[in-house]
């Protein structure tokens, strides 16, 4: 057990998904650098490796998740099961930590682990929620159940939010939600409403209009402290092994010539889609670095069906790996475009390196992020159908055509703004400063 440090002791509660583990570990590292001692409580599944983070104490709690439950594609049901299974052990665990340290400055939990807020309330501790997706996603749940269509549309009158077509997302979310989905949304919203502070891995300038709406719906102060990976650049958090050979392959390519393709840690495609992606990449004639995760092609072993002349056609022009050091890849001079599923972490990482994007959203907030990227910030192109001709054309529009140059210029502008937000008086630095002050003052 590490001694309590001068700013106080914090308990961070993690959920076992890659896109959530990374920002939570980064936040832990940042808060540790601000003088807090930290314990991370996490489910057994996808446990982080403590030896990668010697400054942090880790405690694992029983999640009782079965393999089939974890492979559920319905994130709401999985989240609900996780919260039900973890609530009692989490309460016990935080009580034990409280006995050991005498004082806990705050319980900081991933918004998906909403049971932590009730536990914090039970123990009279401040609960702070970390939203690892965009701030705009916070508008979806509290607003939707309460307002009818007319009210909702007049509520969302700002130009940026109109471009985003939030009503369309509302309609999607309202389509026959299961009981698990309703219960999850209700608990999620209640937790965020009861929290003492909301931390978001975003930047003021990215979601300005949405943030002002969010502030109307939630009483707690909101701290946009992103891009948090730039504040904690050395945190290792990959659940899969990063294949470094892609970096030596990138070293051999021309500047800004490579299209990097990755659909994050959860999305999957079927065999025919894999073949379409492969031939779309091959026919684009651009060099490509493509992540095909071991479990990402439904019903098949890794890239098994990529025969029939594919390798011969692309030769050294293509590099396929199971997992990359993505932040390093995006910062590499050879990478000129990122074809992504539009996960929030990937979006923020791409913005920080000024890499323009192609977006093929699969589920959930990825559609909203894709609308931001392509319609609001205009730093990417949308790709709807996974069909080889369509893929080839979209890649060439981004990487070769004039249209791509304009998109690249806007992406570079956003990169500069992101860097500014981290400077001494930048919005994210100030937000982080205010956050640590608030925690220390309670």
Considering the rule CB under 6 A, would residue 26 count as an interface residue with ligand UDX? Answer: no
The residue range among 43-51, 219-227, 323-331, 407-415 that interacts with ligand UDX, by the rule CB under 6 A, is 323-331
If binding is defined by CB under 6 A, does position 16 make contact with ligand UDX?
Answer: no
Stretch that binds ligand UDX, among 17-25, 57-65, 273-281, 294-302 (CB under 6 A): 17-25
Q: Shortest approach of ligand UDX to residue 58 CB, angstroms?
A: 20
CA distances, 13 to each of 9, 24, 38, 86, 115 (Å): 13, 8, 11, 11, 10
Select 238 or 438, whichever has its Cβ closest to ligand UDX: 238
Distance of alpha carbon 383 from alpha carbon 65, whole angstroms: 35
- What is the Cα–Cα distance from 355 to 119, expressed in whole angstroms? 41
Question: Residue 110 forms beta bridges with which residues?
Answer: 130
CA 340 to chain centre: 12
Q: Please tell me whether residue 22 binds ligand UDX under the rule CB under 6 A.
A: yes
Q: Which of 142-158 are b and which e, b meaning 16 or more Cβ less than 10 Å from the residue's Cβ?
A: bbbeeeeeeeeeebbee
Residue 90 within binding range of ligand UDX, rule CB under 6 A? no
Does 201 sit near ligand UDX (CB under 6 A)?
A: no
Of 310 and 362, the one with the shorter C-beta distance to ligand UDX is 362
Q: Which residues pair with 57 in a beta bridge?
A: 39
d(CA 277, CA 263): 12
Strand runs labelled E in 30-169: 36-43, 57-61, 106-110, 127-131
Q: Does 353 bind ligand UDX (CB under 6 A)?
A: no
Segment contacting ligand UDX (CB under 6 A): 14-22, 101-109, 123-131, 142-150? 14-22
Minimum CB separation from ligand UDX for residue 305, in Å? 21
Please identify which residue in 344, 357, 380, 404 interacts with ligand UDX, judged by CB under 6 A.
344
Regarding beta strands 222-224 and 197-200, do their DSSP bridges make them parallel or antiparallel, or are they unpaired? parallel
Task: Quote the CA–CA distance of 236 and 29 in Å, as a whole number.
Answer: 11
129 in contact with ligand UDX (CB under 6 A): no
**Applying CB under 6 A, does 367 fall inside the site for ligand UDX?**
no
Q: Does 19 bind ligand UDX (CB under 6 A)?
A: yes
* Contact pattern from residue 253 through residue 292 relative to ligand UDX, giving x for each residue in contact according to CB under 6 A and a dash for the rest: ---------x-xxxx-----------------------x-
Element housing 115 (H / E): helix 115-122
Residue 351 makes contact with ligand UDX by CB under 6 A? no
Q: Is there a contact between 408 and 436 (Cβ–Cβ < 8 Å)?
A: no
Q: Which is nearer to ligand UDX, 105 or 203 (CB)?
A: 203
Determine the number of helices (DSSP H) and then strands (DSSP E) in the chain.
20, 13
Binding site for ligand UDX (CB under 6 A): 17-20, 22, 132-133, 238, 262, 264-267, 291, 323-324, 326-327, 343-346, 349, 364-366
């Amino acid at each position: 057990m590490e001694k309590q440090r001068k700013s106080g002791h914090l308990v961070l509660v993690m959920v076992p998904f890659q896109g959530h583990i990374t920002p939570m570990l980064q936040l832990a590292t940042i808060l540790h650098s601000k003088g807090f001692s930290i314990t991370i409580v996490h489910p057994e599944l996808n446990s982080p490796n403590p030896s990668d983070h010697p400054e942090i104490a880790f405690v694992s709690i029983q999640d009782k998740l079965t393999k089939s439950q974890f492979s559920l594609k319905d994130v709401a049901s999985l989240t609900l099961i996780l919260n039900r299974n973890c609530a009692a052990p989490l309460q016990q665990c935080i009580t034990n930590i409280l006995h050991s340290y005498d004082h806990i400055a705050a319980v900081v939990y991933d918004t998906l682990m909403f049971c932590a807020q009730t536990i914090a309330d039970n123990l009279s501790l401040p609960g702070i929620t970390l939203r690892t997706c965009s701030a705009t996603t916070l508008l979806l749940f509290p607003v939707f159940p309460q307002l009818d269509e007319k009210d909702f549309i007049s509520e969302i009158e700002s130009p940026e939010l109109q471009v985003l077509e939030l009503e369309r997302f509302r309609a999607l979310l309202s389509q026959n939600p299961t009981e698990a989905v309703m219960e999850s949304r209700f608990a999620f919203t209640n937790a965020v409403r009861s929290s003492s502070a909301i931390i978001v891995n975003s930047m003021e300038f990215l979601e300005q209009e949405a943030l002002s709406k969010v502030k109307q719906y939630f009483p707690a102060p909101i701290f946009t402290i992103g891009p948090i990976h730039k504040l904690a650049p050395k945190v290792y958090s990959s659940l899969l092994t990063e294949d470094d050979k892609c970096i030596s392959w990138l070293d051999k390519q021309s500047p800004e010539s490579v299209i990097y393709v990755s659909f994050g840690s959860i999305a999957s495609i079927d065999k025919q889609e894999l073949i379409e992606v492969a031939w779309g990449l091959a026919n684009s004639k651009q060099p490509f670095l493509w992540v095909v995760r071991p479990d990402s092609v439904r019903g098949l072993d890794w890239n098994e069906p990529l025969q029939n002349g594919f390798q011969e056609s692309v030769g050294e022009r293509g590099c396929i790996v199971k997992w990359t050091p993505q932040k390093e890849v995006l910062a590499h001079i050879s990478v000129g475009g990122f074809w992504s599923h539009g996960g929030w972490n990937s979006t923020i990482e791409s913005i920080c390196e000024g890499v323009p994007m192609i977006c093929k959203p699969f589920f959930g907030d990825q559609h909203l992020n894709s609308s931001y990227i392509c319609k609001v910030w205009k730093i990417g192109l949308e790709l709807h159908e996974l069909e080889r001709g369509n893929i080839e054309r979209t890649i060439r529009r981004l990487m070769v055509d004039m249209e791509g140059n304009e998109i690249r210029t806007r992406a570079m502008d956003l990169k500069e703004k992101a860097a500014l937000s981290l400077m001494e008086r930048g919005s994210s630095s100030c937000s982080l400063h205010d956050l640590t002050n608030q925690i220390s003052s309670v």
